[in-house]
Amino acid sequence: MQFEQRILVVGGTSGFGMEITRQALQHGARVHIIGRTTAHVAVAVKKLGAPDRLMGTALEAQNKEQLTAFFESNAGFDHVISMLGGAMGGGFLDNSVAAIRQTVEAKFFANLQLAQIASRHLNQHGSLIFTSGAGGRPDNASGAIIGNQAINTMVAGLAVELAPNYRVNAVAPTWTPTGLWRQLSAEQLATQTAEVSDGNPLKRVATPAEVATAYLYLMQNQFVTGQVLHVDGGVELA
């Protein structure tokens, strides 16, 4: 299905973000990606090809001034996709308050700030799509669980606040082998993959391509808002 729309992917230089960009380009979209460094953006743009429909900007997406300046100097977008946020291991007692607060800041408040700024630069009937998460438990992913739950609540609120002109949704993947886990050794990656596979009914992990299709669906279906689409192999059923 081809759709000629203008899409912004915040965090589009690797992992899910790069795969979303790849698939959106294949569907005929014009895409602008944001990455942290000029080098990362340049490598991603070269790797993805399509120079006539792909642009990239390096900035700190959690910096309010940089983010505001970016939107003010760029035309409106039909869809803004956010990959902001990270992972966290450990429970509430074996992490510091500062570490938990930092994770919540990165997962929730960074996305809230993006929503407040980006929502003023959406084209009519556009959408915001955030990245939440599935799997994990409060005792082994404390701050990340709080951040994900906060994103889900924010999506429900924003969907009402921005209706009927705009839509707001999120995708909640479970653990998937992407560049986010580049610090793991090959042995650690294999162990983690096996553990995650064993913990869901489908007995495998997702591919980045499978997760990316959920974002494409939420862009294309104009009658979906306020939803968190789980792409997790049924992990919460196991």
CA dist 91 and 140 (Å) reads 5
Structural domain 6-237, CATH architecture: 3-Layer(aba) Sandwich (3.40)
Question: In angstroms, rounded to a whole number, what is the distance separating the alpha carbons of residues 11 and 34?
Answer: 5
Instruction: Tell me the pTM.
Output: 0.95
3-state secondary structure 173-193: ECCCCCHHHCCCCHHHHHHHH
Angle at the Cα of 31 (from 111 to 81), degrees rounded to 5?
A: 20
175-231: per-residue pLDDT in tens?
888 766 777 778 888 888 898 899 899 999 999 999 999 999 999 999 999 999 999
Q: Mind listing the pLDDT tens digit for each residue in 137-155?
A: 999 999 999 999 999 999 9
Sequence-distant (6+) residues with CB within 8 A of 185 are: none
| 115-139 pLDDT, tens digit each | 999 999 999 999 999 999 998 899 9
Q: Would you call 226 helix, strand, or coil by DSSP?
A: coil
pLDDT at 180: 67
* pLDDT value, residue 195: 87
